[in-house]
Amino acid sequence: MKNTFLIILSLFAVTSCQKEVDLDLADQSGNIVIEGNVTNQTGPYTVKITKSVGVAQPNQYPAVTGAKVILSDNTGQTEILQYIGQGMYQTSTFVGISGRTYTLNVQAEGKQYTAQSTMPEAVDFEGLVQDSFVFGNTTTYTLLPVFTDPAALGNRYLFSFTVNDIAKKVFNVFSDNVNNGLPNQRPLVLPNDDKDNNHQVTAGDIIHVEMQCIDNNIFTYYSALTQISGDNGGGVTPSNPPSNISNGALGYFSAHTSSELDYKIK
């Protein structure tokens, strides 16, 4: 088991490489919220369109129907997405490939919204290594994603995980501003209590981890979302991270690579 000081030092490195982002805390209830993803995995891909709600309102976001949603890339590939219910619009034949730049166009409720995202090259997700440390009477488990950052500076990563298929995801964002071109040294800290309905991780739990290689706009979005939520999770209210979608829309559009692994805690 590694020294507790090294774990804490690694966690400091995670947070110290993220720039602060000014957040708009004004009430933006009733705004369009667009959440779209294209990956290097086989589709279909989805775009979810809803309306934001006020701080004091339940987190039940009204679906936006009747929108025209078009996905395209810089090679001429294009598709009009089909509505499948609950604010979800879906592709049928569209293909996501690393290195391409993707454009999302949405016409909804008399307004037009656009966004672009370039899918980075995939970085091999080689495995997960478990560690733990004890503070007081509590054991905290960590998982170290095993991958080597490419030599070129500017890579950005999003790691999300669930515990025993519990719906709530926890996420971490990494940049290569520190340790560029080196094996990863930044662990994922797993929940060690039941606060906010997080399951306290114990031996035998299954951790499902997704690694995304993301562009800089999405890195900024999730870095800000981490600041807002304070616990590496959350949504678009009560305050909202900077969106890469035009015309005042909330949310994000991300073209990213995706790799997934499961690990059983020992």
Tell me, yes or no, whether 17 lies in a domain. no
The number of distinct structural domains making up the chain is: 2
- DSSP code of residue 242: P
Q: Flag whether 109 is in a domain.
A: yes
Instruction: Label residue 61 by pLDDT band (50, 70, 90).
Output: confident
What average pLDDT does the segment 226-243 reach?
Answer: 63
The mean of the pLDDT values for the chain is 85
CATH number for the domain that contains residue 85: 2.60.40
Give residue 30's pLDDT.
Answer: 77
How does pLDDT run across 236-245, given as a tens digit for each residue? Answer: 444 678 999 9
Regarding whether 224 and 95 lie in a shared domain, the answer is no
Q: Is residue 25 part of a domain?
A: no
Same structural domain for residues 135 and 44? no
User: Does residue 67 share a domain with residue 162?
Assistant: no
Q: Kind of pairing, strands 127-135 and 111-118? A: unpaired
Q: List pLDDT tens digits, range 129-169.
A: 999 988 888 889 999 999 999 999 999 999 999 999 887 78
The pTM of this model reads 0.83
pLDDT tens-digit profile of 190-218?
Answer: 988 766 556 789 999 999 999 999 999 99
d(CA 241, CA 251) in angstroms, rounded, equals: 8
Domain span at residue 97 reads: 32-118
pLDDT at residue 76, rounded to an integer: 98
* Residue that is last in its domain, among 57, 92, 118: 118
* Residues 180, 161 within the same domain: yes
Domain termination residue (choose one: 90, 118, 146)? 118
